[in-house]
Structure 1
């Protein structure tokens, strides 16, 4: 190819990329949400009165799959910190690393680049806001366990003289209101609005910096929250505060899909997936009205080895999961002080327990709710015919979902680092 033709092609390609550069990027992580979770949710959400199995928002947005392994000296199975760091920096690292490479050196995140460019930035999560995934986008630390130091960094570290995060929504009182330091008061003194009740979000003046903490650590389970959901409220509030002429970058995390997977808790798993699905349905409509926005959704890994079907009966029955009045963790807590547990358990689980199921609860003697939680989850597993292979993470590829400006660049199979690298490219090619 002649030099002038080569130059012309490069200019045209660069121009095409600039025309697809989004003003706003919304990154959503379904923590622990492997492909079995999105498939199970399709069946859970299905209308049994119709002949077909209806598609979900996950089906509409699906564009590809991603591999998730950490730095190979660590092995093939990632934790949330290493995978979130890959998704935020485009760099592989060791399990436990927060925004640092395998040599424990800080690496720029896509959120930090957005802030350097003058965009607003935020996180909205159902875990504590200094947990592995949000921390990997807004902080740098050699260990995810350094919760206090990560929280301190949200206040102490500045980019161009500004706080890294304009909006922080989730749990975390324990780490922000401490005997040695009250970060809430410091943020308030620095001009941030602060709310500690999720119902107060609508009262905050749009466009102002906002810190919202709604629990000591992680927020209550979706099943224990008003209307069995809270991520849609966090999502809407975060965007309301972030919208501006320069654009924004928002990380949203459905954190507790992972926690339900670790607990082999199919009831909470599907409720957490529904919480996320409703938020994504709202975001779908938001993109229609805001065509300059890119939405990218993925998981950091899969948790629990969820199996839709546990034996050779070739069946899965999600109907037993739909009438839960509380999370299995909360049900277990309420049953702790009761000797004859059948009536209350049946009421809270939404169906009449058999004599054998009641006996499996009544025989448990423990000073903590975990054994009862396990027993309740086992009842739901048996009723629905759900299987699990582990209480940890698995190494399967995870789905990628995308919509909006630049979404075509996330199609096909890619490593999770490529997701971040693509977002870096889109950010750098903003007009």
Structure 2
């Protein structure tokens, strides 16, 4: 062997040795790579929690931590950590749908539930609307695991529906309700149904069909509290529902009313079994308040979502070697950002703590005022005491008052008679002009900005703890979340 050949051979050995040492030193990276490329080879998770904050991305999370820190300490630089933001495994996911970089919830929910892309508005099916995708929840049920679906919005909405329904449009609420019953899942809880008797209200009630199929349907506090495993399959609807069959915003909730955390805790109690369980919990109204550009309502609902995750963490503490918890959002909503031109490098989050009602409840006041007051008699002065009481707005500039007066005039027009003015949409979206202007002014004074009344296409964080959690490190597509979870659960991606 000549000198050159010996040198090459020695170099090859050295390189191989170095590679072996690197892999040995970083076994977690080795597992993560194996999980992505070859399937998860580790221990299967017996208990799986999937928390989805609808409309939740880093702006909503960071804003909530700053707000929480403001409540906890007088130190303006104190940041209050959320339970899931300290998870040991964190990554980022892309959220685009099959046909646009800005997804909506049906396409995003389908990706997260099934591992497949589809077009906006389609639920659990491909873009041709002919092929159905099987969700991880359906696979878990086939495997023998108990399955629960919980949401703060109606349980036939896009995100929960993506785990059990297959419809060409997310608007087929009655058909989605029937799919809910036919799924045979063990626990549904949260909001109600948007069209239990169909769009024309001429169909058999889905809840009656559910009872005939063996579900126990409850909607009072006592009935919910008294649920036990003896009751079998359950549909638990919050006793007090707000608009669109959803649970109330947390900022509006009476302290005695049931919470997302309550439904999560009850779900754990009912689903815990020798076969294990899968539970998806959606904080759905983070999206709605972000659409409306209402920061105070948004951060309060993120905190309520975090409280639900805390219930899973209590269970995890008892079963750390059998449990996986994954937390993410389906997309960002509103183009929320921490920073506004008028406040430059400063934030004043204590200002949004003075808000004690959601835009939704405030809209009711505006509607009543419109019905009792002629447009010519509407005056901003009528509202100044209310703005102080409900939003803490006391330091209004002349520019603020001009914006509010213009918005009040726009709100005095019956919504059914409002023209589709592009300029008006840029100012108010599809929301009550006076209401959205009030929250805009308050948010801007706090140092919070918004760019949209719709969704945005930014990447969304992913947080994981427990069995297989290391697979969620890195940067990947939303469909990969489903594939990783299926691998860790021991079900086969289809």
TM-score (norm 2): 0.77
Displacement of 1:206 in angstroms is 3.5
Q: SS where residue 85 of structure 1 aligns?
A: helix
Q: Does 1:310 align with 2:340?
A: yes
Q: SS where residue 240 of structure 1 aligns?
A: helix
Q: Does 1:409 align with 2:409?
A: no
Distance 2:154 2:209 in 1: 18
Matches within 5 A, 1:337-356: 337-338=368-369, 340-350=382-392, 352=394, 354=396
| Residues paired across the two proteins, number | 410
CA-to-aligned-CA distance 1:339-388 (integer Å, 9 cap, x gap): 61222332222454648567726655244581232122123223212111
Distance 2:354 2:258 in 1: 15
Distance 1:193 1:136 in 2: 23
- Other-structure match for 2:90: 63
Change (3 A) 1:127 1:262: same
Distance 2:303 2:438 in 1: 20
- Other-structure match for 1:79: 104
Q: SS where residue 29 of structure 1 aligns?
A: strand
- Other-structure match for 2:412: 365
Q: Does 1:205 align with 2:236?
A: no
Displacement of 1:143 in angstroms is 0.8
Q: Does 1:195 align with 2:210?
A: no
Matches within 5 A, 1:365-404: 365-367=412-414, 370-404=432-466
Displacement of 1:335 in angstroms is 4.2
- Other-structure match for 2:20: none
Change (3 A) 1:233 1:358: farther
Q: SS where residue 296 of structure 1 aligns?
A: strand
Distance 1:409 1:385 in 2: 36
CA-to-aligned-CA distance 1:107-166 (integer Å, 9 cap, x gap): 1110000000111111100111111111111111111111111111222x35xxxx1x21
Structure 1 stretches (4+) deviating beyond 6 angstroms?
none
Moved more, 358-367 or 20-29: 358-367
The answer as to whether partners of 2:84 and 2:327 remain within 8 angstroms in 1 is no
| Pairing partner for 2:314 from 273, 279, 285 | 285
| Backbone CA RMSD of aligned residues | 2.6
Q: SS where residue 275 of structure 1 aligns?
A: helix
CA-to-aligned-CA distance 1:29-85 (integer Å, 9 cap, x gap): 1111111111111111113324643432242025111111112xx122211111111
Matches within 5 A, 1:48-127: 48-50=73-75, 52-61=78-87, 63-71=90-98, 74-104=99-129, 105-127=131-153
The answer as to whether partners of 2:286 and 2:302 remain within 8 angstroms in 1 is yes
The answer as to whether partners of 1:342 and 1:353 remain within 8 angstroms in 2 is no
Q: Does 1:133 align with 2:159?
A: yes
- Other-structure match for 1:298: 328
Distance 1:390 1:59 in 2: 26
Q: SS where residue 130 of structure 1 aligns?
A: coil
Distance 2:40 2:397 in 1: 64
Unpaired segments ≥5 residues, structure 1: 1-9
- Other-structure match for 2:11: none
Q: SS where residue 96 of structure 2 aligns?
A: coil
Moved more, 349-358 or 28-37: 349-358
Displacement of 1:389 in angstroms is 1.1
- Other-structure match for 2:249: 221
- Other-structure match for 2:190: 170
TM-score (norm 1): 0.88
Moved more, 372-381 or 421-430: 421-430
The answer as to whether partners of 1:332 and 1:376 remain within 8 angstroms in 2 is no
Computing the radius of gyration over CA atoms, which structure comes out larger, 1 or 2? 2
Q: Does 1:146 align with 2:188?
A: no
Displacement of 1:226 in angstroms is 2.5
Unpaired segments ≥5 residues, structure 2: 1-30, 370-377, 416-430
Distance 2:93 2:153 in 1: 23
Distance 2:301 2:265 in 1: 17
